Every structure is written in structure tokens, then in C-alpha cells.
Amino acid sequence: MAKVKLNPVLEQIRGKVGDLVFKRYHDEVIMSRLPDVGERTPTPGQAAHRQQFKLAVLYGRTVVADVEKKAIYEAAAKEKGISAFALTVGDFLNAPAVDEIDLSGYTGKAGETIRIQASDDFEVAGVRVRIVDTGGAALEEGPAIRDGMAGGEWRYTTTSELAAGQSVSLEVTATDRPGHKTVKTQPRS
């Protein structure tokens, strides 16, 4: 790949000029030919991805227009060496994950702690725990609290007591800043 020092007049160029596209990556300007997309019809997967990307761009524009929200993303974007807008688009496209549900401290009594490990490419905004019986009826539910000492660890303190030998499942929902939710269910016998 050849490197060329641009005339100062052209250093800030970006966008399409004729059949050329000028892109800016960090401090460099990349020049390429205009892609030939022809008359191809996108596959259903491509169409769905394009729609998702449009929503991500809309989310990014909304965040960048909001001074408070933009400041949150800008701090992290600066560390990564990317724009706040690029970080918001990436955050929108990646849902959070519930990595682990630790039931070792839960015997079915009130006041016990359930530990949850949740992650996201930017930030997990909240974690919610729901304890359901075998029929799917909620026995209790509520928000987990972020453990200040550990990065992605959250803890939920139970509020009700189970009957002896009662089988239940825990439904843990992690939510990120764009509002995407991921649910993980784990049985406790």
C-alpha cells in the first residue's frame, strides 16, 4: 500500500468525489474506489442487518444530540481512540450477556444472596432477577445491585422463603444502555 502526503487543502476531504471515496481513520485519509453494488437484491439476512444498522445510526445520532448521554460515551470513546458516535453504534449492535448465575449462597431462604456476572461491550445498565415456580408463576422479582468492588458482578438479595424442597427457576435479565435485554434461565432444584 502506498502512502501519500496530501496537500493541506485536501487533508480534511472525506466523502465521494467522482468514482473515489475518501474515508478518515484516526489521522489518516484512506482513498478507495466507489464500491460496485449493482442491481443485487439483498438476502433476508442482509436486509435485516441493514435495518438493524439504520436503527443503530439513529440511536447514535440521538445520543450525540443529548449532552449528558454524549459525555458518558465520549469518555470511553477517547480511551479507545474512536468517536463517541462509533461507540454508540457499536453499543447498539451488541446486546448484553448474562455470563454466570451463582446460586451457591441461595438455599431458598429470605435474605440470601444470588450473584450474577453480566457483561456488555460498553456497559450493563441494569440486572433484574425473577424467581418462578415450575408453572411459571413469579414468586418474587426485583433489581440486582451492582457490586462496587467487582466489574461485572451484580447481587440480588432474596425477599421470600421457599417451601422445603420446592423447585424453582431463576430468570436473570441484563439490560444495556440502548435498552437491549438478554435473559438467562437457570433451574434450582
The string of pLDDT tens digits covering residues 106-118 is: 999 999 999 999 9
DSSP-assigned beta bridge partners for residue 157: 113
Q: What angle do CA 11, 12, 18 make, to 5 degrees?
A: 90
Does the global pTM surpass 0.85?
no
Is-contact 60 44, C-beta < 8 A? no
Mean pLDDT within 135-140: 91
**The pLDDT of residue 27 is above 80:** no
Which distant-in-sequence residues (6+ apart) come within 8 Å of 183 by Cβ? 98, 171, 172, 173
Cell 484516526, located at residue: 26
Is-contact 117 103, C-beta < 8 A? no
**The pLDDT of residue 153 is above 90:** yes
Mean pLDDT within 137-158: 88
Helices 84-93, 44-65: inter-axial angle, 10-degree rounding: 140
DSSP-based helix, strand, coil % in the chain, nearest 5: 25, 35, 40
Sheet with 168-176: list strands edge to edge. Answer: 138-143, 124-133, 168-176, 181-188
Domains delineated in the chain: 47-93 (no CATH), 97-188 (2.60.40.1220)
